[in-house]
Amino acid sequence: MNTPSTSHSSPIPHARYGIGDMVRHRLLDFRGVIFDVDPVFANSEEWYEAIPEGMRPSKDQPFYHLLAENAETSYVAYVSQQNLVQDEEGEPIDHPAIGTLFESFDGQRYKLKPEHRH
């Protein structure tokens, strides 16, 4: 007979997005493609403290590494799951590193190059 676990640690939320998915920041004006996922916060405390307190996300949720772009530039972003929504634009991301990680874009998501899959 299986009994429910009585562990008191809270479960880690399931990652809503995967590598190659197109996302948009919920509050800030940028979009990107996910190239890595951390199950919980894995950046520096200094980085975390630099986020304005009213916007600071919980650390116990997935965080995503994005090849991101806004109207002015492209860059790498690190964003909590609570601050991301699916990007419905259907346009490719204009980022110089796209070709090093991904082989194609199907209009909804990017396909990771075989050498980067694990």
Tell me: pLDDT of 1 over 70. no
Under the banding of pLDDT at 50, 70 and 90, the label for residue 10 is low
Tell me: pLDDT of 4 over 80. no
What's the full length of the chain, in residues?
Answer: 118
What percent of the chain stands above pLDDT 90? Answer: 77
Question: At 48, is the secondary structure helix, strand, or coil?
Answer: helix
Provide mean pLDDT across the span 75-88. 96
Q: Are 113 and 102 in contact, with CB atoms under 8 Å apart?
A: yes
Domain 22-116: which topology?
SH3 type barrels. (2.30.30)
* Cα separations in angstroms, 37 against 3, 72, 80, 106: 32, 25, 10, 21
C-alpha R_g of the chain: 16
